[in-house]
Structure 1
Amino acid sequence: MFRFTAALAGMAIAAALGFVSAANAEDGFRMGLLVPGSVSEEGWNRIAYDALKRVETELDAGVSYVELHDNPATFETAFRNYASQGYDVVLGHGFQFEDAALTVAPDYPDTTFLISSSHIHDGNVVGLDTDSSQPFYLMGILAAMTGDAAGLVGGMEIPPIHDAFEGFRLGAASVSPDFRMSEIYIGSFTDISAAKEAALSLVAQGADFLVPNANAAGLGVIQAAKESNVGTFSVYSDHRAVARKNILGVYVADYGQGIVRIASEVKKGSFAPASNIVFGLRDTDVMHFELNPEAEPAVAENVRAAIDAARTQIIAGDIRTRSRDN
């Protein structure tokens, strides 16, 4: 079975002009992945890579990935190269892949194009929306019950990040309308130094909580929290080893479970969504938010109770965590 391993990742740039054709010899179910960065970095891109590897193992699939480093000019070509080779599923890991998929998909009706962090549903292009506004709402409750101000650091001002931060703001406002919040977008998902600098500037303005949502660059926010001894959260991956005492909560998206679920349906021919796919706190196999038992000071019992109550209400649909429709 063909495997496009890290050793072949250097060929990824060639995907923009002519994709590696070795996969043409592979029969059976195949899935391709486009990521805007490196899969070696913990965080957003690594989540997609781990999902792809699970599809490979659990569905006995041929898999391949392309690292495009957030270069929109190459997205359409990479999609087309995968589809022209007969790949069954191609996942563009990020909202920024929508336009390219919509351009290519009509020419390849037998390929399912999945787009992470997207609300799209147009023919064989289907958005997979991990609704991060839900766990961010819980973070907002925690921050507002234990602090005075939060600094939010985003990679780019795109809808998925806006939604997550809106969830945080709504959660905080449900506790204290006077809780102060400031946002900075660094214009990158990989620049750890820029994220750290932005976070430190927010601390200087009075933030006693730092909230990252910048993929790999978010590590800089956590580093700043440790240096400034303020609270923070681990987002998408578990970074407690970096700032064990400062991270109060950990949000991990087991995106792989959701991808395996969908890819399995595609393989069986039963995938027929009526809308985009939304994973939320109700999908306990996909989305996890837990408090850090090693945080100092520990999260108080009344805060834990408030978070648990809000989680139950969100799952029941009694709390709306973002204004944008699914």
Structure 2
Amino acid sequence: MNNVKGVVNVKKWLLAIGFVFLAAIGLVACSGGSSAGGDNFKVGMAFTGSKTDGGWCQTAYEGLMKIKSQLGAEVIFNENTQPSDYEKILRDYAKEDCQVVIGHGYEFTDGAKIVAEEFPNVKFIVTSTDIGNGKNLGSIQNSYQSGFLQGIFAANMSDVGVVAGVGGQEIPPIKNDILGYDAGAKYAKADVQVLTAMTGSFDDANKLKEQSLSLINQGADIVMVDADHAGRGGYEAAKEKGHYAIGSIAPEYDAYKDSLIACANIDMATAILQTVELVKEGKFEGKNYLKGVEDGIVTFTYNPALEDKVKPVAKEAVEKAVKEIKDGKLDVMKYIKL
């Protein structure tokens, strides 16, 4: 009888130990879910367009892949997010235990402000805006530098003193690029005429082509475009009229060897990676991270197939501006007319 009781007591003791062990595992798992530096580091990103758009969304997707390969994160993403779902997708990712949730584009600003309040332990990042709450909500912005360099180049390339700039949706980052373009052109040539327009779309390449043709017909002999996928319409318009186009964000030189002569590149992939890395290191401050020429995020490149068509004075002017920005001698903001 005593032996039976002993066996029962041993079983109870082992069972109790088992419960304690399982509870300990549960506590570790819970704490790991809120730790940015844990093995289960998870990042969610939402795009307004396609990850293969050749520009804005594609460079962000490339950043997400860098986060996966270099930071060892589990990543999830949503393409072609509709306006009615901006807030919802950010909330869904927070619920899915993402330590970092990224809304790629100014359009996610309002939704991120709301959802960040609901999930104080999750870090939210929005690109192309200047928001920050000092806690768990921050942003990445490129200011006016890319447009400024495009304007300097265009003014020095133009044979007639008339240049054009066409944007897509009329949202702050696109309007800022157009403002920078206007300022850069007039910084380079005080008497240059700058014609600008917005199409209201990042998808309608035909509409952007027609708008570009309209500005060319008004006298412009070079056109800058900043309209994501729709920007391809500007390259086609320039080709049709025997002129050159200047791209934004990411160059598609191989596809447009006859017309896309240069591009103001914005390495959002690296900018996003660097900001998420701050989260994992516990250094994220919930502020606006301004990334530009000084950080190597904004650069200016030329189409290898057309580089011999670039006027030396235009290349020299851009190189001079880049150096002066890096050296702190040129403050682009002083020339922006808001």
Q: TM-score, normalised by structure 2?
A: 0.82
Match of 1:5 in 2: none
The AA in structure 2 aligned to 1:128 is I
The AA in structure 2 aligned to 1:64 is I
How far apart are 1:136 and its partner, in Å?
A: 2.1
Identity %, equivalent residues: 31
Q: Equivalent of 1:111, from 122, 138, 149?
A: 122
Aligned length: 297
**Are 1:40 and 2:52 an aligned pair?**
yes
The AA in structure 1 aligned to 2:279 is V
The AA in structure 2 aligned to 1:55 is I
**Are 1:96 and 2:107 an aligned pair?**
yes
- Counterpart CA distance in 2 for 1:307 and 1:264 is 31
The AA in structure 2 aligned to 1:32 is G
Aligned ranges 1:69-88 → 2 under 5 Å: 69=81, 71-88=82-99
**Are 1:197 and 2:227 an aligned pair?**
no
Would the aligned equivalents of 1:47 and 1:255 in 2 still touch at CA under 8 Å? yes
Would the aligned equivalents of 2:156 and 2:313 in 1 still touch at CA under 8 Å? no
**Are 1:28 and 2:40 an aligned pair?**
yes
How far apart are 1:27 and its partner, in Å?
A: 6.3
Work out which of the two has the higher radius of gyration on C-alpha atoms and give 1 or 2.
Answer: 2
Match of 2:320 in 1: 309
Regions of 4+ moved over 6 Å: none
Per-residue deviation, residues 58-109 of structure 1 (Å, max 9, x unmatched)? 111111111244x322111111111112201111011111000001111101
Match of 1:260 in 2: 273
How far apart are 1:143 and its partner, in Å?
A: 1.4
The AA in structure 2 aligned to 1:120 is I
**Are 1:225 and 2:259 an aligned pair?**
no
Would the aligned equivalents of 1:119 and 1:128 in 2 still touch at CA under 8 Å? yes
Would the aligned equivalents of 2:185 and 2:194 in 1 still touch at CA under 8 Å? no
Would the aligned equivalents of 1:166 and 1:321 in 2 still touch at CA under 8 Å? no
- Counterpart CA distance in 2 for 1:68 and 1:238 is 21
Per-residue deviation, residues 99-145 of structure 1 (Å, max 9, x unmatched)? 000011111011111001011111311110023x2132122112112
- Counterpart CA distance in 2 for 1:85 and 1:242 is 39
- Counterpart CA distance in 2 for 1:119 and 1:213 is 19
Match of 1:287 in 2: 298
How far apart are 1:293 and its partner, in Å?
A: 4.2
- Greater displacement, 211-220 / 302-311: 302-311
Match of 2:78 in 1: 66
Gaps of 5+ in 2: 1-32
- Counterpart CA distance in 2 for 1:32 and 1:165 is 30
Match of 2:189 in 1: 176
- Counterpart CA distance in 2 for 1:113 and 1:220 is 34
Aligned ranges 1:204-219 → 2 under 5 Å: 204-219=217-232
- Name the SS for the 1:87 alignment partner: coil
**Are 1:142 and 2:153 an aligned pair?**
yes
Match of 1:55 in 2: 67
Match of 2:247 in 1: 234
Match of 2:288 in 1: 276
- Counterpart CA distance in 1 for 2:194 and 2:108 is 30
Would the aligned equivalents of 1:36 and 1:45 in 2 still touch at CA under 8 Å? yes
- Counterpart CA distance in 1 for 2:307 and 2:274 is 38
Match of 2:8 in 1: none
- Counterpart CA distance in 2 for 1:293 and 1:49 is 25
- Counterpart CA distance in 2 for 1:317 and 1:88 is 36
How far apart are 1:294 and its partner, in Å?
A: 3.0
Per-residue deviation, residues 159-181 of structure 1 (Å, max 9, x unmatched)? 11111111111111112222111
- Counterpart CA distance in 2 for 1:195 and 1:29 is 41
- Counterpart CA distance in 1 for 2:125 and 2:247 is 26
Gaps of 5+ in 1: 1-23
How far apart are 1:30 and its partner, in Å?
A: 0.6
CA RMSD after TM alignment: 2.1
- Name the SS for the 1:282 alignment partner: helix
Per-residue deviation, residues 24-45 of structure 1 (Å, max 9, x unmatched)? 9x96001101111221221111
Q: TM-score, normalised by structure 1?
A: 0.85
Structure 1 or 2: more helix by fraction: 2
- Name the SS for the 2:332 alignment partner: coil
- Counterpart CA distance in 1 for 2:170 and 2:332 is 18
- Greater displacement, 315-324 / 78-87: 315-324
